[in-house]
Amino acid sequence: MMRQTSVDSPTFSPLYRQIKGLILQALDNGEWRPGEAIPSEIELAQRFNVSQGTVRKAIDEMAAENLLVRRQGKGTFVASHSDPRAFFRFLRLVPIAGGIEPSRSLPLECWRAKAGPEAARVLGLKLGDPIIIVRRLLEFSDKPVVVDEIYLPGEVFAGLSLEVLKESQGSLYSLFEARFGVRMIRAEERLRAVAADRASAELLRVPEGSPLLSVERISFTYGDRPVEWRRGLYSTAAHCYLNELG
Amino acid sequence: MMRQTSVDSPTFSPLYRQIKGLILQALDNGEWRPGEAIPSEIELAQRFNVSQGTVRKAIDEMAAENLLVRRQGKGTFVASHSDPRAFFRFLRLVPIAGGIEPSRSLPLECWRAKAGPEAARVLGLKLGDPIIIVRRLLEFSDKPVVVDEIYLPGEVFAGLSLEVLKESQGSLYSLFEARFGVRMIRAEERLRAVAADRASAELLRVPEGSPLLSVERISFTYGDRPVEWRRGLYSTAAHCYLNELG
DNA sequence: GAGTGGTCTAGACCACTGC
DNA sequence: CAGTGGTCTAGACCACTCG
């Protein structure tokens, strides 16, 4: 590991960030799988030839970014969407009445297509590249609340089908992670209010034209590479989108 | 400062968190005003009889929570809504087209009232306690985009009037901070899609019944005391609510 | 140059987990 | 018990700001 020198202003980066970069790279390379433990701080310190404190600071940042999970006495683990605690990490919908509701994901359709200009731009593909489109319904307490249309790069998600979706347990992202090795680590959502079109209205069992929350999401994996584009329509009659502003 | 003992399991809290609590208390007491520098890490370490590293860790957390701002070579400062960098800290609205737009806040009304059951519950007041209600319009590029109705505890905001609002520069929160000593440090927002009522539709210049984004916000000051309840209706024709999911 | 925060180290000890 | 992460300390040095 390179130490700092006195003459490196433009690309200056403290040691612990370089370590962070190396750990990130190892994660991206799949050196440790989601849910697995990474080596102990002492081992990593030896491997990178730095002190334990420096490794610690690198891991601290990555834990704050939900990339790693520390567990005292046990070790540090690669964050996983298969961990029940992370199931709803990206879903901000909560019942207005409060409490917790049983939820279910109902895959409706799954087909192959070619990327149009917008999908290509968002997903960083070339025009006409293969993509996969998934439509699914999300229910809470057996009532439909969300319709999602999900665009995925066909290259990465080859083999995805309606059957695979129907068989899978847990969240979509845990399926993506376990079956396709794609780990979503960050997302951007853009929210608007729109009027329900005919098809969505029927699925959500609301009158056509009633106001729905449109949630457009771009999800990124390591290195800020976009790997999912989805648009959801949320019925906010009994649920709302909860957001914490820090 | 108390050190850790071996026999304090139930209320165990590491030293740096106790320090954090003391600094928080000093902030709440107004020992240092927003925008001002707090004492240096070395001074605080002496004051609390701990090492600089422990003070550092306390300040690190508070900086991560946007309570303090560190500036290398200068000192650590109390975060302020009057700082231009913090103006839009709580406003997630961005133009769909991208870019930056000039914005303007137009106060419409400001009147006194008694807290109803809902306002009392949300603001932690007793039924009938005095509250102040403000209505205002937010414009981007001279076009109306948001109507806000804001409920404030009358006790704390005594002296607030339409004139005061109209005279003030900068964000509402910088006014609250400078004039009433109330610093908003955290907020919860609940979003839903609703149909425009007559009055809001006119103000926002959209057809009655068209879909609007309803944003209900509760803002908290130190000690998680709620001090503002507001409901905004956002026209999302040319703007959207942008949210980062980590 | 003096004073601030930022990094890095080394070592001691505590708290938690699992064998 | 050994091994892990968590806390606390003390000291050295670096980077930035300002007078």
The whole-angstrom separation of Cα A195 and Cα B212 is 9
Is A88 among the domain residues? yes
Whether A91 contacts A198, CB under 8 Å: no
CATH number of domain containing B24:
1.10.10.10
Strand order in the sheet with A103-114: A103-114, A130-140, A143-153, A225-234, A211-221, A186-195, B239-245, B93-95
Over residues A73-106, the pLDDT tens digits come to 999 999 999 988 888 899 999 999 988 899 999 9
pTM as predicted: 0.92
Chain A CB contacts of B201 below 8 Å = none
Whether A78 contacts A35, CB under 8 Å: yes
The whole-angstrom separation of Cα A242 and Cα A103 is 17
Do residues A101 and A198 share a domain?
A: yes
Do residues B24 and B143 share a domain?
A: no
pLDDT at B71: 97
Question: Could you tell me if A129 lies within 8 Å of chain B, comparing CB atoms?
Answer: no
pLDDT at A10 over 70: no
Indicate the residue among A78, A97, A116 that finishes a domain: A78
Over residues B147-184, the pLDDT tens digits come to 999 999 999 999 999 999 999 988 999 999 999 999 99
For strand C, give the nucleotides within 7 A of a protein CB.
3-11, 14-18
Mean pLDDT, rounded, of chain B: 94
Q: Which residues contact A212 (CB under 8 A, 6 or more apart)?
A: A193, A194, A195, A196, A200, A204, A206, A233, A234, A235, A236, B193, B211
* Domain range for A201: 84-241
Average pLDDT over residues B185-204: 97
Over residues B2-54, the pLDDT tens digits come to 444 444 455 679 999 999 999 999 999 999 999 999 999 999 999 999 999 99
Do residues A171 and A115 share a domain?
A: yes
Do residues B52 and B155 share a domain?
A: no
Please name the residue whose C-alpha is nearest to the C1' of nucleotide D3: A73
The whole-angstrom separation of Cα A41 and Cα A197 is 54
Share of chain A above pLDDT 90, in %: 90
Do residues B55 and B138 share a domain?
A: no
Using alpha carbons, select from B138, B155, B135 the residue that is nearest to residue B90.
B138
User: Testing the interface with A: which of B213, B214, B220, B242 to mutate, by most A Cβ within 10 A?
Assistant: B213
Share of chain B above pLDDT 70, in %: 96
Do residues B137 and B47 share a domain?
A: no
Average pLDDT over residues A9-26: 89
The whole-angstrom separation of Cα A183 and Cα B97 is 30
Question: Å from A73 (CA) to D3 (C1')?
Answer: 8
pLDDT at B10: 56
pLDDT at A170: 87
Question: Å from B54 (CA) to D10 (C1')?
Answer: 12
pLDDT at B170: 87
Q: Residue A56, CB, less than 7 Å from strand D?
A: yes
User: Phi and psi for A233 in degrees, rounded to 5?
Assistant: -115, 120
Half-sphere exposure of B101 (CA within 13 A, CB side): 18
Indicate the residue among B46, B63, B78 that finishes a domain: B78
Question: Could you tell me if B220 lies within 8 Å of chain A, comparing CB atoms?
Answer: no
The whole-angstrom separation of Cα B48 and Cα B137 is 47
Do residues A226 and A134 share a domain?
A: yes
